[in-house]
Amino acid sequence: MKCTRKTLACVMAAIMLLLSGCGAANTDNTSESAKETAVETTAKSSTQRHKVIIDTDTGSDDAGALVLAATSEQLDILGVTVLFGNVPLKNAADNALMTLEVCGSDAPVYIGAEKPLKKEREEMISVHGKDGMGDQDLIHPKRGAEDGDAVDFILDTIKSDPGEVEIIAFGPLTNIALALKKDPDTMKLCKRLWVMGTTGFGVGNATPVAEFNVYSDAEAYDTVLRAELPMTVLGLDMVEIEETKITEDDLSKMAQGNKNGVFMSKAFAKLFEFYRKSGNNMTLPDPMAVACMIWPDMVLETKSCYGLTCVGDDAAYGQVILYQNGSVYEAMPEISSYNLDVVTKIDAKLFKDRFMSVMTD
Ligand code: BDR
Ligand code: CA
């Protein structure tokens, strides 16, 4: 669907918002549901582990995210599902398997989508190197992927533990969208989706308005947002906070750190070089998405939003327009519910300190 103005709907929506007492513009509207999630998550940290499926297009920062997940006591990784994205599917699977092996995790890996729902897979600049892991000849996994399909694994796992399984996705959302298309009722039993995607309230990296994961399959994002599952999203605006980024000094500390650090310092070689060429430090999108789940004290604010994905055949493809709950817009689409919680403030230093300690302690 294209992003069109629906003036009548806008007036109706604005009236409804005012009537329901949500009409104050520019308020700090950290959503109640997100606050509850944060409280629940904090309480859980001392008692029960999150049961998670990780969905990844494993390039180097996905690998960093897998290291955080696999070494976290907060998570019980039920399985890892892979798909195209940063690299072709085969590389994504091998990179995930190798990273899990380095961390001593035997979480099963399932093969998912090879291409987007509708468009052809587009070759974009490979910022992670040709193999997705810095082209350092690091990738020789001892085991292979499981026989089953990623979509079936996601559905079977959620079905067998209704309301308990969460998904962390840090690639295009194609596997999740396929699962929704196949069995929407089962997907309603997913406890929460944690997603790295969208620009947040900042600018894009695939195009000026679109973030890479959404741009890779905007139809999949659209499908997921329309399903209105409980969902927390980390966007590029948080990832661009300078204090979260990896400097040359950080990279050399990782190289002299523990086995995770040594492995990741090599895997980051190409990505780091890519950022250095433009005089920047290296961002960590996917590790930050995992951090939102395992370190809830890092997330200082979330905003309840209605996200509308642009899927038209034009320059806005992959943009996600975020209408904030509590703000009144003069032209607003019809909103059935606010369908995502967007992270809007984080403790950047806490993130970076903890990330570095996973790589060095
Ligand atoms: C996203 O794009 C990929 O390069 C990263 O792995 C991350 O998931 C950031 O836009
Ligand atoms: Ca990724």
Res 354 pLDDT > 80 = yes
The tens digit of pLDDT for each residue in 289-303 reads 999 999 999 999 999
Residue 96: CB partners within 8 Å, gap ≥ 6?
56, 58, 62, 63, 66, 80, 82, 109
Among 45-49, 93-97, 187-191, 281-285, the least confident range: 45-49
What pLDDT does residue 105 have? 97
The tens digit of pLDDT for each residue in 49-71 reads 999 999 999 999 999 999 999 99
Domains and CATH numbers, the chain: 49-326+334-360 (3.90.245.10)
Percent residues over pLDDT 90 in the chain: 80
What pLDDT does residue 25 have? 29
DSSP annotation of 120 reads P
CA nearest neighbour of 261 among 353, 355, 360, 137: 360
Most confident of 82-86, 125-129, 236-240, 337-341: 236-240
Three-state SS at 304: strand
Once rounded to an integer, what is the mean pLDDT over residues 34-39?
46
Res 332 pLDDT > 50 = yes
Pocket mutation for ligand 1, best pick of 168, 196, 234, 283 (most atoms within 8 Å of C-beta): 196
Once rounded to an integer, what is the mean pLDDT over residues 188-214?
97
What pLDDT does residue 356 have? 98
What pLDDT does residue 29 have? 41
The tens digit of pLDDT for each residue in 247-273 reads 999 999 999 999 999 999 999 999 999
Please give the number of the atom of ligand 1 that sits closest to the Cα of 170. Answer: 8
What pLDDT does residue 340 have? 96
Res 204 pLDDT > 80 = yes
Provide the H-helix boundaries in the chain: 7-19, 32-46, 60-70, 89-103, 150-160, 174-182, 184-187, 212-216, 218-227, 236-239, 248-255, 259-267, 269-277, 285-294, 348-360
Res 237 pLDDT > 60 = yes
Distance from C-alpha of 208 to C-alpha of 315, rounded to nearest angstrom? 9
What pLDDT does residue 125 have? 62
Rounded to the nearest 5 degrees, what angle is found at the Cα of 278, between the Cα atoms of 272 and 284? Answer: 40
The tens digit of pLDDT for each residue in 115-128 reads 999 987 776 667 89
pLDDT band at 334 (very low <50, low <70, confident <90, very high): confident
Average pLDDT for the chain: 89
CA nearest neighbour of 234 among 325, 300, 315: 300
| Cα 88 to ligand 1 centroid, rounded to whole Å | 14
What pLDDT does residue 124 have? 64
Res 358 pLDDT > 70 = yes
| Cα 172 to ligand 1 centroid, rounded to whole Å | 9
More confident residue, 125 or 277: 277
Q: Whose CA is nearest to atom 10 of ligand 1?
A: 212
198 CB under 6 A from ligand 1?
no
Q: Whose CA is nearest to atom 2 of ligand 1?
A: 212
What pLDDT does residue 126 have? 76
The tens digit of pLDDT for each residue in 91-110 reads 999 999 999 999 999 999 99
pLDDT band at 45 (very low <50, low <70, confident <90, very high): very low
What pLDDT does residue 8 have? 38
Percent residues over pLDDT 70 in the chain: 86
286 CB under 6 A from ligand 1?
yes
55 CB under 6 A from ligand 1?
no
Q: Which ligand is nearest to the CA of 288?
A: 1
What pLDDT does residue 335 have? 84
Res 12 pLDDT > 70 = no
Question: What is the torsion angle, in degrees rounded to the nearest 10, for the CA atoms of residue 79, residue 84, residue 85 and residue 88?
Answer: 120
What pLDDT does residue 57 have? 96
Please give the number of the atom of ligand 1 that sits closest to the Cα of 196. Answer: 8
Cα–Cα distances in Å, from 247 out to 67, 105, 167, 194, 334?
A: 19, 28, 30, 27, 44
Distance from C-alpha of 190 to C-alpha of 163, rounded to nearest angstrom? 6
More confident residue, 222 or 123: 222
| Cα 333 to ligand 2 centroid, rounded to whole Å | 30
pLDDT band at 42 (very low <50, low <70, confident <90, very high): very low
260 CB under 6 A from ligand 1?
no
What pLDDT does residue 47 have? 57
> For tokens 């590029």, what's the residue?
236
Q: How do strand 75-82 and strand 50-56 relate by DSSP bridges?
A: parallel
